[in-house]
Chains A and B, each alone.
Chain A
Amino acid sequence: MAIDPHASPSSRTDPTLAAMKAGFDDDLFVEGADWETVVDAVEDETLTVNMGPQHPSTHGVLRLVLELDGETVTHLRPIVGYLHTGIEKNAEFRTWVQGTTFFTRMDYLAPLFNEAAFSLGVEKLLGIEVPERAQAVRVILMEFNRIASHLVWLATGGMELGSTTVMEFGFREREHILDLFESQSGLRMNHAYIRPGGIAQDTTDDFEARCEALLTLLTERLYDYEDLLTKNPIWNHRLRDVGHITAERCYALGVTGPLLRAAGVPWDLRKAEPYCGYEQYDFEVPTETAGDCYARFLVRLEEMRQSMRIIRQALDTLPGGPVMVADKRIAWPSQQSLGTDGIGNDPAYIRHIMGESMEALINHFKLVTQGFTVPAGQVYSPVESPRGELGYAITSAGTNKPYRVHVREPSFVNLQAANEMTRDHLVADVIVVVASLDPVMGGVDR
């Protein structure tokens, strides 16, 4: 029999395939055939598809195992852990101050929130009160960070729906905010700027002017996003009535942050348990009732406005004074200011320890390498991160290193809702839903 070169390979015609198949169960093999015959052969018609771990719309390395009936999702199972770096374990071998350099790398779109939540927990254990100026600077930078994080959400979410303009807009404005962070901390991301006891160094002289300029710019640009998207028919069609979740289900699944607020609950830790002096600022907690992706978009957009309101008030009332606690057992004795090289410097102090006082040098060395000890105890310190409740459960055994730090990561918890939010949706909607969850895999996998 002449072999037809255009025919599908089959063990009937191909001796190599027939040899491979010999001795095995028939069910193990699928050979080329019409789709109808393949489908008829299996009883269960659902198809299991791996989406990710490398997929442009999964915000990192998230793997979604989709059960598909045709093009409809019947079940979604998120598989995480590809970015696990053992930050919590690492922190057990680092001093309390060094901890901030690790935790800032978890949710890399909201690094300042990680630093702040950890520092607040350590401060609670130490029983110290941070100077007012440090608190206000923390608030200003955290709110800018919230805007930056929401901008990345808007940019990546928009790009996944095919809107490259939104992507350009989001990343363009975010870069201005990162420039501000760089001018204050020396780094665009992963700052380790907020530390137990205060902040690493005082702000630069042009800090307020920079913030003002940035606020003016952002106020103007936020209207652009609204003009571009709020009434955009494609944006509306893709987001409305997609990924619905009710407040009850949010509670059951532990979902917090913009998702819970878009389901109608005005829950915000900045209001409920004010930290860093949030009680002084007048702002609103935006809510929507629809609980779909479009509602989340509106909530996040309004949150950016409210963040700017907070920054405006914090700038107007920015107090002077120290930015680190006075306790010399905790704070470094140097009064650093940021040099042109992006590194904190204090020439007068360096002259003192290098040229005048050996004891001061020893003290500084011990404080930097050994760190300070923290009384034994357990605390839980939550803050409202752009993605929801970010909590640090810190256990100290009374040494210079944490005994155990566990991080309640909102991305990790919120991801559990993905299955419910995508059920009976099309595959294309999975991308919208995952974008609206805004998971950051660095935070999920830690």
Chain B
Amino acid sequence: MTTLPAPGRGLSGDARSLDDLAARLTDRFGDVTTDLAHGELTVHVAPEQLVAVLTFCRDDEELGCELLADLSGVHWPAGDHVVDRQPSTTGWPEYRIARDEGVIEVLYILRSVSRNHWLRISVGTPDDEPRLPSVTGVYETANFHEREVYDFFGVVFDGHPDLTRILMPDDWLGHPHRKDYPLGGVDIPYKHEKFIPPPDERDLREVVD
């Protein structure tokens, strides 16, 4: 990055309106779609455009997003997805999501300190073989974030310098934030007087295939 915002400019309030930002991105990349909700701008891009869009957001004079503030994943599984345990008052949540194919949505929050605005980039990848280009070449801070998304959702970021688990143990099986990750597979000790193996001796391979 060559330009450093002058101290104080972030507070001067010369912010662009979100409509202007959306127009700027759609002008440059014809096939991105934008939506405004809750006063937040979301830009939906295709995986192959991702690095180009983020580079543009960082280097463009109008957008000027110096910071990648956040990077997170959301899993939207396929089918009329209802988790079918205790859909009553407490306990398992009840979602009604009808989708043809399962998607892992990865969200990038880009923030401009010099212009004082932020926008969200949303990119989807199929959940059976999630794979996205790494943006560590554009924003170094994506390193930890992408490791976290890999750890929790299994998204493989091509070009990441060191894609390993970060919060879960190295030998953990499965990606626990996916909605299809098996939960409740371990018996509750006070039921049926069964012997429950200690956590490090449980075989998760039966439930995570």
With an 8 A cutoff between CB atoms, is A264 at the interface? yes
The A-contacting residues of B in range 37-77, CB under 8 angstroms, are 37-40, 42, 66-70, 72-75
Size bracket of the B interface = 35 or more
Q: Which residues from A are CB-within-8-Å of B7?
A: 264-266, 287
Q: Which of B5, B96, B113, B169 contacts A81 (CB 8 A)?
A: B169
Q: A404 near B: Cβ within 8 Å? A: yes
Which of A93, A124, A254 is B93 in contact with, Cβ under 8 Å?
A93
The answer to whether A251 and B93 have CB atoms under 8 Å apart is no
**Which residues of the other chain, A, contact B95 by a CB distance below 8 angstroms?**
397, 399, 403
What is the distance, in angstroms, from A26's C-beta to the closest C-beta of chain B? 29
Task: Contact check, B38 vs A369: say whether CB atoms are below 8 A apart.
Answer: no
Are A377 and B38 neighbours in the complex by a CB distance under 8 Å? yes
Interface string of B72-111 (1 = CB under 8 A from A): 1111000000000000011111111100000000010101
A252 touches B139 (CB 8 A): yes
Cα A258 to Cα B112 in complex, Å, equals 18
Check: B141 CB closer than 8 A to any chain A CB: yes
Known: A252-B139, A254-B139, A403-B74. A265 touches B167 (CB 8 A): no
Q: Is the CB of A378 within 8 A of B107?
A: yes
- A2 and B94 alpha carbons, distance in the complex (Å): 78
Q: Can you list 8 A-B pairs, Cβ within 8 angstroms, ordered by A? A: A81-B168, A247-B4, A248-B4, A251-B113, A264-B7, A378-B42, A378-B74, A416-B140
A interface residues, Cβ below 8 angstroms from B: 80-81, 84, 86, 88-89, 92-93, 124-125, 127, 247-248, 251-256, 264-268, 271-273, 285, 287, 366, 369-370, 377-380, 382, 389, 391, 393, 395, 397, 399-401, 403-404, 406, 408, 412-413, 415-416, 445-446
Number of A-B contacts (CB under 8 A): 130
B72 smallest CB distance to A (angstroms)? 3
Partner of A80, one of B1, B5, B38, B167: B167
Interface string of B1-25 (1 = CB under 8 A from A): 1001101101100000000000000
Contact, CB under 8 Å: B168 / A84: yes
Contact A81 B10 (CB under 8 A): no
Which of A254, A268, A401 is in CB contact (< 8 Å) with B67? A254
Partner of A408, one of B11, B69, B166, B168: B69
User: In whole angstroms, how far apart are the Cα atoms of A8 and B86 in the complex?
Assistant: 66
CB pair B89 A369 closer than 8 Å: yes
B34 at the interface (CB under 8 A from A): no
B40 engages A379 (CB within 8 Å): yes
What 4 A-B pairs come out closest when comparing CB atoms?
A254-B141, A406-B72, A408-B70, A251-B66
Min C-beta distance of A394 to chain B, whole Å: 10
* Interchain CB contact under 8 A, A379 and B38: yes
Name the B residues within 8 Å of A406 (CB-CB).
70, 72-74, 107
A393-B167 in contact given A88-B177, A253-B141, A379-B40 (Cβ < 8 Å): no
Q: State in angstroms the CA–CA spacing of A446 and B168 once bound together.
A: 11
Cβ-neighbour of B1 out of A251, A268, A271, A391 (below 8 A): A251
Residues of B within 8 Å of A86, CB to CB, are 176
Partner of A395, one of B74, B92, B93, B139: B74
Question: Contacts A251-B1, A378-B107; is A399 near B94 (CB within 8 Å)?
Answer: yes
On chain B, the residues within 8 Å of A391 by CB distance are 69-70, 109
- Find out whether the CB atom of B177 lies under 8 angstroms from the CB atom of A272: no
**Nearest chain B CB to A405 CB, angstrom units:** 9
Q: Is the CB of B10 within 8 A of A380?
A: no
Given contacts A248-B4, A408-B72, 12 further A-B contacts (CB under 8 A): A84-B168, A127-B38, A251-B67, A253-B141, A255-B141, A380-B109, A389-B111, A391-B69, A404-B75, A406-B73, A406-B74, A408-B70
Q: Which of A127, A253, A267 contacts B113 (CB 8 A)?
A: A267
B116 within 8 A of A: yes
Tell me if A445 and B89 are in contact (CB < 8 A): no
**What 1/0 flags go to B145-177 for Cβ under 8 Å of A?**
100000000000000000001111100000011
Asked if A254 meets B109 with Cβ closer than 8 Å, knowing A81-B166, A81-B167, A445-B167, the reply is no
B11 touches A266 (CB 8 A): yes
Most buried by B among A254, A255, A266, A412: A254
Q: How many angstroms from the CA of A406 to the CA of B116 in the assembled complex?
A: 22
Closest to A252 in B: B140
Chain A, residue nearest B65 (CB): A251
Hey, which chain A residues are within 8 Å of B97, CB to CB? 397
Enumerate chain A residues within 8 angstroms of B93, measured Cβ to Cβ.
Answer: 92-93, 399-401, 403
In the assembled complex, how far is the CB of residue B44 from the closest CB belonging to chain A, in whole angstroms? 12
A280 to B11, CA, bound (A): 15
Q: Are the C-beta atoms of A93 and B92 separated by less than 8 Å? A: yes
| Residue contact A84 to B167, C-beta cutoff 8 Å | yes
Task: Select from chain B the residue with minimum beta-carbon distance to A265.
Answer: B7
CA distance A371 to B91 in the complex (A): 12
Q: What residues of chain A lie closer than 8 Å to B66, measured between beta carbons?
A: 251
B89 is contacted by which of A268, A366, A393, A397 (Cβ under 8 Å)?
A: A366
How far is A173 from B32 in the complex, measured between Cα atoms in Å? 53
B125 within 8 A of A: no
Minimum C-beta distance from A388 to chain B (A):
10
Assuming A399-B95, A401-B93, is B38 touching A408 (CB within 8 A)?
no
Contacts of B167 in A (CB 8 A): 80-81, 84, 445-446
User: Cα distance A446–B96 when bound, in Å?
Assistant: 28
Q: Write the nearest CB–CB distance from B152 to chain A, whole angstroms.
A: 8
